[in-house]
């Protein structure tokens, strides 16, 4: 038998505050869990003015993508180390994160994949259990 908490339980603090993940040899990003409460609440707030278009199926993809990027930059991509552009180090800020997420869709996809990995957000005690 398998304990469902050990298999699927997560650390709520990690989900919101993020975990550092490697993105190459010299780059790491601080990523919170996709779908955490802060992220979901912010997406809902951003999408509220568009409820009518959503119901009618007339909402433009650009609006959805822009809203998701804003939410990702505030509540999912929480920091980075080692990122640079044109040889200049990039200092993290949510504004800079938004720019980078919009300018580099493949980076955005990587961040979203990392933010969706259950294992990254599981409790420490579960990791210790697996080692033993």
Summarised one tens digit per residue, pLDDT across range 59-82 is 999 999 999 999 999 999 999 999
Q: Is residue 71 part of a domain?
A: yes
132 or 12, which is more confident: 12
State yes or no: pLDDT of 51 exceeds 70.
yes
Tell me the pLDDT tens digit for each residue of 102-132: 999 999 999 999 999 988 898 875 444 444 3
Tell me how far apart the alpha carbons of residues 122 and 8 are, in angstroms, rounded to a whole number: 7
Q: What sign results for the dihedral spanned by CA atoms 128, 119, 78, 51?
A: negative
Q: Is residue 65 part of a domain?
A: yes
Q: Is residue 13 part of a domain?
A: no
State yes or no: pLDDT of 19 exceeds 70.
yes
Q: What is the residue range of 61's domain?
A: 21-122
In degrees and rounded to multiples of 5, residue 34 shows phi and psi of: -60, 130
Hunting for tokens 């790491």 — which residue is that? 28
pLDDT of residue 3: 81
Q: Is residue 3 part of a domain?
A: no
Q: Is residue 129 part of a domain?
A: no
122 or 92, which is more confident: 92
State yes or no: pLDDT of 95 exceeds 50.
yes
Please state the pTM of the whole predicted model. Answer: 0.86
Residue 100, Cβ density class (10 Å: 0-12 exposed, 13-18 middle, ≥19 buried): buried
Q: Is residue 10 part of a domain?
A: no
Angle 59-63-68 from CA coordinates, rounded to 5°: 120
| Band of pLDDT at residue 34, cut at 50, 70 and 90 | very high
Q: Is residue 127 part of a domain?
A: no
Q: Is residue 4 part of a domain?
A: no
pLDDT of residue 128: 46
45 or 11, which is more confident: 45
Task: Count up the domains in the chain and report the number.
Answer: 1
């Amino acid at each position: 038998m398998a304990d469902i908490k050990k298999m699927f339980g997560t650390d709520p603090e990690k989900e919101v505050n993020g975990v550092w993940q490697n993105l190459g040899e010299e780059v790491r990003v601080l990523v919170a869990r996709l779908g955490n409460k802060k992220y979901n609440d912010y997406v809902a707030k951003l999408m509220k003015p568009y409820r009518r278009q959503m119901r009618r199926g007339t909402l433009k993809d650009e609006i959805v993508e822009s809203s998701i990027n804003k939410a990702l930059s505030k509540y999912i991509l929480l920091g980075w180390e080692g990122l640079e552009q044109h040889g200049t180090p990039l200092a993290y800020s949510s504004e800079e994160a938004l720019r980078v997420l919009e300018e580099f869709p493949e980076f955005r996809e990587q961040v979203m994949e990392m933010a969706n990995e259950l294992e990254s957000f599981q409790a420490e005690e579960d990791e210790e259990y697996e080692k033993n």
